[in-house]
Amino acid sequence: MITTTASRNLEEVIEECRTIFDIPGIEPAVAWKHAERGRKLIGCFPVYTPVEIFHAAGALPVGLAGGGNRLEIVHSDSRFQSFVCSIIKSTLEQGMTGMLDEIDGMVFHSICDSARNLASVYTRNFPNTPVEYLHYPQNFALPEAAMHLRSEYERLATFAASITGTTVTPGRLKESLSLYNRIRRLIRLLYGLRAERPHAIRTSELYSLVRVGNLTPPERHAEILVEALAAIERREGKSRDRLRILIVGSFCEQPPIDLISAVEDAGCYVVDDDFLIGRRWLIGDVDTGVSDPLLALADGYRNQSVASPVKHDLRVSQSQMLIDRARRLNADAVIVLCAKFCEPALFAYPLYRRALQAAGIPNLFLEFEEKMWMFDRVKNEIETFVESMLFA
């Protein structure tokens, strides 16, 4: 458990976060569940889940993020082929080895064909765990899309209530929305701070602060974020002359945290990324002053969410948005860091590359797997890339 003392420094806060999330399972969430009778956990596969709905039903939304590089895949690779990304297999492996036994419900979303089929395979293999599958709209120009998504959210609310026994009323939902609005604001502050003063917080640290929310109740997560912000303000450090890098492509399966550190150690500041993007999917507050908060949440997806390869909002060009982002952040280069076999990320790359080349922004394409634990080759590639830019 984290104990809050006003004077903890950032390293201490991060250390606590890492103990919580840097494990192959979900034990801290299970501990929360067992602390009181009747508590329930709902597992949320990436990328984005409207977690407020589960929270409003009294459950703890557990952010699933694969098995990292310490979970050995033994059973699930006979179910999913070699050409399927790792998180599909590690999630099933977690299930097959009992790590998700305490999960009372699971939700998957229409992000890609592999995750979609996993929802079915999970349903069949774990008949005692209720599974929901959420369809996200893919025609953003269509005004009816938000209403349809609202009906999806309503089904999700019924699902959550059937697990916890607590109905998601508009009142409860508004409270949850306020809490998560606050968390997203805090994360945005941290991201803004890093872009402005990247020497003040390392990306691996920022990552830890966000990732801890996967297995921590949101009330506590908000406290950690507040504490971290205060600690960063006290931190001393000087800006160095380093390349400013934007990393995109790791929105679902997560790279090992040491790989993230490796980018920084190669002499870069990471000024923006899309790690764990689901935690800051909505870019503005969801309006809690409305009579239909479920619709407000759905409308947030349609009109106020980040660009992502699992979302095909053609009202704006996704690659142009990447260019704009790179320019706004004064990025020297873009690293496209894709999970191996991640179809949406791999498909995003050719359009990105074309646009980046046209805009004269150097870019590097790299692949990773969550289960990697040797980074020599990737490190080399990053170092060579950095050198080529420094001495160009």
Q: Which residues in 250-269 contact ligand SF4 (CB under 6 A)?
A: 252-253
Q: Does 325 bind other proteins (CB under 8 A)?
A: no
Q: Does 117 bind other proteins (CB under 8 A)?
A: yes
What character string, x for contact with other proteins (CB under 8 A) and - otherwise, covers 130-159? --xxxx-xxx-xx-xx-xx--x---x----
Q: Is 227 or 343 the residue whose CB approaches ligand SF4 more closely?
A: 343
Binder among 179, 209, 231, 339 for ligand SF4 (CB under 6 A): 339
Q: Is 101 or 113 the residue whose CB approaches other proteins more closely?
A: 113
Which among other proteins, ligand SF4, none contacts residue 61 (Cβ within 5 to 8 A by kind)? none
Binder among 74, 314, 316, 358 for other proteins (CB under 8 A): 314
Q: Does 340 bind other proteins (CB under 8 A)?
A: yes
In the complex, what is the shortest distance from the CB of residue 80 to other proteins, in angstroms, rounded to a whole number?
A: 6
In the complex, what is the shortest distance from the CB of residue 138 to other proteins, in angstroms, rounded to a whole number?
A: 5
Q: Is 105 or 309 the residue whose CB approaches ligand SF4 more closely?
A: 309
Which of 251, 7, 9, 3 is closest to 111 using CA atoms?
A: 251
Which among ligand SF4, other proteins, none contacts residue 253 (Cβ within 5 to 8 A by kind)? ligand SF4
Q: Does 226 bind other proteins (CB under 8 A)?
A: no
Q: Is 117 or 169 the residue whose CB approaches ligand SF4 more closely?
A: 117
Dist CA 326 CA 214 (whole Å): 28
Q: Which residues in 247-266 contact other proteins (CB under 8 A)?
A: none
Q: Does 113 bind other proteins (CB under 8 A)?
A: yes
In the complex, what is the shortest distance from the CB of residue 67 to ligand SF4, in angstroms, rounded to a whole number?
A: 13
Dist CA 205 CA 209 (whole Å): 6
Binder among 125, 158, 261, 303 for other proteins (CB under 8 A): 125
Binder among 4, 81, 167, 380 for other proteins (CB under 8 A): 81
Binder among 90, 114, 203, 214 for ligand SF4 (CB under 6 A): 114
Q: Does 3 bind other proteins (CB under 8 A)?
A: no
Residues that bind ligand SF4 (CB under 6 A): 85, 87-88, 111-112, 114-115, 252-253, 310, 339, 342-345
